[in-house]
A and B are shown apart, each in its own frame.
Chain A
């Protein structure tokens, strides 16, 4: 990706007076320096939460799913809510790295590394839930189409849950390969800068022997493009398939054809919010403001605003279709969703997902770092509630009123969720200290076209 022409009115993507060397130094700084107190505090909190989560998982597997708050009517609640939530968050990474790559959006370069890392870490969290929600997790391999000696015993290819297995594992592997490919030149950079032999050895291994030859670069570019092509349909397919878990069922409130696009929009929405949450902190703590600029945040806020509005349209469409269908079960499901015993969850969902992103219409707000951070958190709370609302309010009052009941989580439900948040941050914090958090090789490629310094040299200071 050689430098290209960029209009002078475009704002620079790299702020400040940066040279190639400066970029290397800035990116390598968190890896080469010592962790500060703040990092250790954050890491200990995350680790504690993670360990607590492991404790809860062990307790669940040792005792039975009964330690959760589920019942005969509500067979899924926090488990699948958390699963869909984490998968959704995992969408931003691929969208940023693959789709924006194909669309030649250069601004993705400052954030794609971390977005992809976030994707992988959150897909790991997501993948945990379908596994531990099984009553007999020790037989989890039954869901894989493994050749076996039980005659014709095979998995049921009709089941959306099986599609999930393939969708999630494909997504995770493609994302991982894509991420790692991008990491190769950057690991090589760290290797080359490393002073201690051990570090050198490790980064040498991680960089797969990257030498920086022209051939290396050529292959790198080709693989990136091919993987981007492969990953792009995945952005749409993964959450589409997750939504099939519900859409192909017969339960009013689940059985909805709008789900695939609505889920994908929701996923991008929550993923971008999570990227914002993480990067707003990271750019500050790791002194990367020059690379993850206000402009980046603003652009992401715009995506949040648009996807949030799409999701809002979907909510309203659902309500309209329920009314328009004339099916009383459908009508009741949505009436109950909005005004039933879980009205407060619906209200949370509506206000966090539909109303809060509308503030982003105002430039002052969407360029405000603090406000963006708050909204990014609010959006993810809202998206968690969206999944909770879809899953629980549809199940708890379905066809036969005799089976209607309520769901209330136990400390184990909550513990496992907190545990995955802990696990996510453990991974992310370790990543922030050991990985090149900015795709420096790519960023360097746009330094001359989009760097502030070079823009000034070229066009003078217009501001």
Chain B
């Protein structure tokens, strides 16, 4: 900064014409420098000790030193924009509305884009979008280094032009030969793509479109078509339900495409003294069963009988008086359904057309308003019969060309070998694929397609509800969309974008703005609304036919995991490491078995010295197909039934670490999830599981997960603080006082500014785990791999604990504990409580850092690396952390995670953080932790700060409920609510004061900022 100040240097300056000042001005050195004196005196010069050699030494040293000083570490270049794109402000995230429609998951989402990189998927709540774990994780698949990077012909690289020419030529040949062309795709709910396939048919004639779902819902589609005339899936508004009876339908999992948890959870939170009652009849312990008020273990073949009995009781009024527990439960369920009337609903996951008809018939008889037959869903279209026919035709040489898109039949087909044989017999086989998967390697032409985040498109998820897909990044590789290829082959020069816009303007928008639709991501068309027709179906015959389906002693039920789904995202490390909500096992699929069956077979689960779980191996044989599989003893598994997850065991195009589990699709004969006639043989050896939770029961610690019944909850005469939501009491001056009122510390004034709280409603939480992946993505949580998980070193900042009861319910566990009197009694009780019940009650509890106002971790850190923020957060200064792990030891919730190794840039952890492409998913707002530091949930401080900053810039106070964390944002069930308790209007404020609210381990005195809500179970049986 320039200064105009003038400083006097001497008195002489007062004299304007001073000679001294003048001389000084012109002479830099007032005294003569005696150079001559020094250099001129030869004698003196020779006498100096600096010799020539010394001089050279000095010069040499100086040069070397200067050179060394100019060296620097490797430079990572970051190049600024020369011309800044208008809509990109470095450091500010952009959100784009788009839609995922990968054939298995369909959802309206928002994509968070930072500096041109999509880094996170969030639900598009304005469009009723909901994201599950897979949708949340799908952004990482964009940065999969094993993706197909360009078109190939017979495994050799080829240019798009050449490929087009060759394929068009072949298609013309086939057209000339009069052979049919089959387009085999996953479910396509895209109107414009359907139009393009029709266009392909116009060009090449005889084009048949076969839709195929890896995990079939064909039975439900067929049944619905039979009863309501359209081949689609009905919607279920579970928020309207008072009684939900599910026979083998895991509707909180992936049943009929999933997406029911929001409605379900709404109905499960007691409001005005009411909540829905959920009865589940199932064989595998599913997420839905785990959430049910009453769960009956029923093996698949008996589920069919259950459904028939339910039908007879509800519709025909035939009440069976058999006194088996199952029948009693069925009759009670039927009675409750009848009482509920139009507020009752029956769902079934039995993959038999007749079973689906029966369920629909019951709902029809109940006149259920939960069932929505007019706004049908298009997210499953696969037709098993068509697929079977196609394979047969291919093998007979009747098919000219097979074009595969959005499907991996070579991996997913139960009769994959026949399909591969058939492929060899067709003249032209083309696969459009994003991944270098099994199918991509079995065809002549493999055409690389972009990820959905690089694509244009549209989807009609629900009738009349159109969603748009827009690219959020330029294609990373030399890929081209399926639709663009179809346009090229049909001789059009338009791009798919033009075609899409044209189609929408002409057929969908009805004059409304395209830009607005693109901005919103969805467009609801009024024109499409039409009421469904109801057809007469002979349900009685269906029931009789169904009754003939026979079971066997041992039956297999195939299911789909929340994490890996149908297996198309197997190369996604987030999903591989995502622990199954029920078994809490990651990186694997396995045979779930009841304890009784395991004992009979001699199969065991045991823990090794470091606690990790091992399981016996067995050989499973069904219909001549055999596989060696590990056994996981599953509480709640119906005796005589086995469970096995599809979607694992992929090998092609996967990193070695991701090649986990065994492929169960070969067992998926005739696309039936229920397979009788199973034989098992104990095999030698043991399998190593990677479980993140090793103790399965709550040990009678009822204060960790508080539970009560609806009846008690509704009893207003009870004071919750002393009955069902007991506050711990302590003795102070010989008086019993509430533990929270006693305090060792002087309290801060927390009423000023923001004070954040996170509320978790245990009634609304279904345990789906979308929050776990959202947290992963938002906070750059490292993936550690199977071996490290086995060492109990998972890095999840947010986990969902799952507990089984030892008795029928958790209240029973508490009683067992209370009754364990004396040292021996206590020991006996505790030993017993370690074992889960045969059919346990299940409870989920998301646990993350509780951000205690009196945090035990903060007092013990020697370097004050973890300390409390003014807004209630317990903060970690990673730079300060020296890694003593004392904080983790002293954390009663065990939520702190230590970086045991350097996880990024370490070839031993070859996941996304060790890969230039994978690193693009990292959130630049959150630091990547180095080895040796402790990390944990920060309550997404980067998000709350951004919200505050945004409000400040816009010159307004923060809006009501504007604060969010990654987990609360991802929770479509509404279980997690985040906000500012110093703001009266924020929902969290009232939630924190709700009569169901409690803090985890209140008696420790940590005063957490995370609030849980007592789980209320609806035990009313009539």
A→B interface (CB under 8 Å) = 63-66, 69-73, 75-76, 130, 133-137, 139-140, 142-143, 153-156, 158-162, 165, 245, 248-251, 323, 328-329, 331-332, 335-336, 339, 395-408
Contact = CB atoms under 8 A, between A and B. Distances in A.
Contact of B610 (A155, A328, A404, A406): A406
A69 B863 CA distance: 25
B830 interface: yes
A161 B609 CA distance: 29
B901 interface: yes
A404 B827 contact: no
A135 B792 contact: no
B884 A72 contact: no
Contacts of B856: 249-250
Contact of A405 (B792, B889, B902): B792
Contacts of A332: 699, 830
Interface string B879-893: 011111110111011
Given A66-B900, A249-B890, A405-B792, 20 more contacts: A66-B788, A71-B791, A76-B885, A135-B934, A136-B882, A136-B930, A143-B863, A143-B882, A154-B864, A245-B886, A250-B1004, A399-B1001, A400-B801, A401-B695, A401-B698, A401-B699, A402-B695, A402-B845, A405-B611, A406-B607
Interface in B625-662: none
Contacts of B704: 399-401
Contacts of B931: 64, 66, 135-136
Given A323-B823, A400-B801, A142 B882 contact: yes
Interface in B854-875: 856, 859-864
Contact of A65 (B883, B893, B1006): B883
B899 interface: yes
Contacts of A63: 901
Rank and list the top 6 A-B pairs by shortest CB-CB distance, nearest first.
A135-B883, A135-B932, A66-B900, A406-B611, A75-B885, A71-B792
Nearest to A150: B880
Contacts of B693: 402-403
A150 to B, nearest CB: 9
A72 B792 contact: yes
B894 interface: yes
5 contacts: A65-B883, A69-B610, A71-B791, A135-B885, A404-B694
B353 interface: no
B681 interface: no
Contacts of A328: 700-701, 817
A136 B860 CA distance: 17
Contacts of B608: 408
B862 A161 contact: yes
B694 A135 contact: no
Interface residues of B, number: 65
Interface of B: 607-611, 693-695, 697-701, 704, 788, 791-794, 799, 801-803, 817, 823, 826-827, 830, 845, 847, 856, 859-864, 880-886, 888-890, 892-894, 896-902, 930-934, 1001, 1004, 1006
Contacts of A397: 695
B587 to A, nearest CB: 17
A158 B859 contact: yes
Contacts of A65: 883, 885, 898, 900, 932
B902 A64 contact: yes
Nearest to A323: B823
A138 B864 CA distance: 17
Contacts of A72: 792-794, 888, 894, 896-898
B881 A136 contact: yes
Nearest to B867: A156
Nearest to B893: A400
Nearest to B834: A401
B880 A153 contact: yes
Contact of B701 (A75, A142, A159, A401): A401
Given A161-B884, A407-B610, A135 B863 contact: no
Nearest to B899: A135
A249 B888 CA distance: 11
B829 to A, nearest CB: 10
B783 to A, nearest CB: 14
Contact of B864 (A134, A155, A165, A251): A155
B681 to A, nearest CB: 31
A267 B888 CA distance: 27
B30 to A, nearest CB: 40
Contacts of A398: 892, 894
Contacts of A133: 884-885
Central interface residue in B611, B817, B933, by most chain A CB within 10 Å? B611
Central interface residue in A251, A401, A406, by most chain B CB within 10 Å? A401
B883 A66 contact: no
Contacts of B788: 66
A405 B694 contact: yes
B271 to A, nearest CB: 29
A161 B860 contact: yes
Contact of A76 (B694, B889, B901, B1001): B889
Contacts of B881: 135-136
Nearest to A159: B862
Contacts of B860: 158-161, 248-249
B790 to A, nearest CB: 10
B883 A401 contact: no
Contact of A401 (B803, B826, B890, B892): B803
B862 A162 contact: yes
Nearest to B691: A405
A335 B793 CA distance: 26
Nearest to B799: A402
A294 B126 CA distance: 88
Contact of A64 (B609, B830, B885, B932): B932
A251 B799 CA distance: 21
A332 B829 CA distance: 11
Contacts of B902: 64
A405 B700 CA distance: 18
Contacts of A407: 610-611
Contacts of A399: 701, 704, 892-894, 1001, 1004
Given A72-B794, A402-B799, A140 B882 contact: yes
Contacts of A158: 859-860
Given A160-B860, A250-B856, A404 B695 contact: yes
A159 B830 contact: no
A68 to B, nearest CB: 8
Given A64-B932, A66-B901, A331 B863 contact: no
A139 B933 CA distance: 11
Nearest to A139: B882
Contacts of A331: 826
A134 B901 CA distance: 13
A165 B886 CA distance: 14
A153 B862 CA distance: 12
Nearest to B822: A323
A395 B788 CA distance: 19
A1 to B, nearest CB: 42
A130 B882 CA distance: 11
B817 to A, nearest CB: 7
A329 B885 CA distance: 22
Given A398-B894, A399-B893, A401-B699, A75 B886 contact: yes
A331 B823 CA distance: 9
Contact of B889 (A159, A251, A323, A339): A251
A10 B695 CA distance: 62
